[in-house]
Amino acid sequence: MLQANVRRDGSSKFGSDNRYGVFPSFSAAWRINKENFFNVESISDLKLRASYGLIGNDRIGDYRYTQYVSGGFYYPMGVDQHQVLGMRGFNLANEGIKWETTATANVGFDLAMLDNRLTLSTDVYKKRTDDILVNVSLPLSFGGEYSQLLNAATVENNGVELVLGWREVKNDFSYGFVGTFSTSTNKVVSLGGNGEPVWGGDIDYNSGSVTRTMVGGSISEFTVYVTDGIFQSIDEVNAHVNEAGDLLQPNAQPGDIRFRDANGDGILDQEDKVKVGSPLPDFEYSLSFNAAYKGFDVALMFTGVYGNEIFNGVKYITESMKEYRNYSANALNAWTPQNKNTDVPRAVKDDPNGNSRVSDRFVEDGSYFRLKTLQVGYSLPASLLSKVKVDALRLYVGANNVFTITNYSGYSPEIVGGNIYNRGIDFGAYPLFRNINFGVELKF
């Protein structure tokens, strides 16, 4: 089986030189078990698949390729101070923006064995997205819009996906499993014109950035200060010096957090932020199971991710203790001379030591394993129902989000990301709730 496609798309969102993109795609499959030479009894289906294709993306605002004149700059002018409308160019034009293009190459096979009871499907893919359209932050000193739309990045993803299933029916009893597993790696190939890193993920007013995306790394890596325990005494504060003997944290007091001068330049500043984790998991998986016996049926589904980190923005907001406002109960465990065995720094107005600066204190393991759904049902026998002219009647009880095993301390480790530079930051989304439902299914 062979298939080929070519499309040429035009978009008014780009300048006249870059309006059109050509996006071909090809796919091929080979049903091996239909070939004459194939005679393995137990294999009921075996298909090899391969595909390659380009797709384009123009999901951006209109007119972004040109500098336009913005209004909205009002000033009360004249002797009666009536509002006059000021106008000027505000954005930074980019005449050259063009289609973002994703090329995906995929190889895989589908296998069914033992009378279709065992199924296996695998895919290996390589996906490369060129000219990713993103808003890149501009210096404040530009004096206009905060960001410019650019074809700013090229990112590669390589991955493997597996789906393995088993299904069997024996008289009154049937059951099945489906397991999925996927893993991928992500690599930033290029960024912007000059390749300067892109910072993102500001948690709060005055928090500074949490993520950095750099060429050679993966997107949105958590890049923050590194903590090194809590100063237990003024001697420890005075011992935290650079080579010249100057205090690295001159405003620190016992109970404050010790930060590492990671680059060893003798000054504790923004240059000491280092990569401490990634919001991208090592792998994701799920397992579902269902079974039925006579009138009874049961279904479960587990999901999980492993190996990602989360920046706990909620903890950042609720434990900083720098202003007079409400904080979480953890603040009660703050360091005091009587409560030294804690990882919560002292409570101090204005936070002179910067305990609340973005640091690995707020970066947590985001792995989890969750029983997502569970349902048990019973269908009344048809013989009973026919007497009351009902075709089917099923009673069931089910639950969602039954339990979650995780080390993450926030509301839920399942984070819905913002833009690509804000991945894995927990801004305090509404937590998932566990619900339990009872139901009756009735068919006439």
Partner 1 sequence: MKRILIIGAVLLAMGLGACTDDFLSQKNPNEPSVDQFWKTRDDALAAVYSMYAPLTYQYRYGFFEYGWGPENWRGDDVIYASTYAAFSKIARFTNTPDIWEVAELYRNNYDIVNAANQCVGNIAKCEIPDAEVKQLVAEAKFMRGYAYFRLLRNFRYIPLYKESPKSKDDIYVPQAERSVVWAFIEEDLKEAIELLPLTREGDEVGRATKAAAAGFLAYAYVYQQKYADAETLLNRIIGGEFGAFDLLSVDNYNQNWDGTNEHNVESLFEIHMANVSPKGKTTNILQAEFLAWQEANAAPWLFNEVQKVKDIDGNVDQRYYKSMISPDLPFTAPLGEYSDLSDFVSGRVLILKHTTPSWDPWERWENNFVLMRFADILLLQAEAINEQGRVDDARPFINRVRTRARIAELPTGLTKTQMREHIMHERAIELCFEGRRWYDLVRWHEAGWFDIKTLLSEHGKPGAENFSNQYLYYPIPEYEYETNPKLDRNKQW
Measure CA 125 to chain center: 20
Q: With respect to partner 1, which residue has the nearer C-beta, 112 or 152?
A: 152
Positions that interact with partner 1 (CB under 8 A): 6-8, 10-12, 16, 19-20, 22, 62-63, 66-71, 73-89, 92-94, 137-144, 148, 150, 193-194, 196, 199, 205-209, 251, 269-271, 322-324, 349-352, 354
Report whether 204 contacts 303 (CB < 8 A). no
- Tell me how far CA of residue 14 lies from CA of 63, 86, 153, 417, in angstroms: 7, 28, 17, 27
Report whether 426 contacts 311 (CB < 8 A). yes
Q: With respect to partner 1, which residue has the nearer C-beta, 227 or 406?
A: 227
Round the CA-based radius of gyration of the chain to a whole number and report it.
Answer: 29
Distance CA 64, CA 67 (A): 7
Annotate 247-278 with DSSP letters as a single string: BSSTT--TTSEEE--TT-SS--SGGG-EEEE-
| DSSP designation for 307 | S
Distance CA 334, CA 340 (A): 9
Distance CA 441, CA 436 (A): 16
Distance in Å, CB of 325 to partner 1, minimum: 9
Distance CA 248, CA 145 (A): 37
Distance in Å, CB of 226 to partner 1, minimum: 17
Distance in Å, CB of 176 to partner 1, minimum: 43
Report whether 232 contacts 290 (CB < 8 A). no
Q: With respect to partner 1, which residue has the nearer C-beta, 20 or 289?
A: 20
Q: With respect to partner 1, which residue has the nearer C-beta, 11 or 122?
A: 11
Distance in Å, CB of 248 to partner 1, minimum: 14
Q: With respect to partner 1, which residue has the nearer C-beta, 192 or 377?
A: 192
H or E segment and range at residue 404: strand 392-406
Distance CA 289, CA 131 (A): 42
Q: With respect to partner 1, which residue has the nearer C-beta, 35 or 246?
A: 246
Distance in Å, CB of 78 to partner 1, minimum: 4
Q: With respect to partner 1, which residue has the nearer C-beta, 86 or 337?
A: 86
Distance in Å, CB of 72 to partner 1, minimum: 8
Distance in Å, CB of 202 to partner 1, minimum: 9
- Give me the torsion for CA of 276, 278, 282, 284, rounded to 10°: 140
Distance CA 123, CA 120 (A): 10
Distance in Å, CB of 92 to partner 1, minimum: 6
Q: With respect to partner 1, which residue has the nearer C-beta, 8 or 294?
A: 8
H-type alpha helices, 326-373: none
Distance CA 354, CA 257 (A): 8
Q: With respect to partner 1, which residue has the nearer C-beta, 168 or 202?
A: 202
Distance in Å, CB of 25 to partner 1, minimum: 14
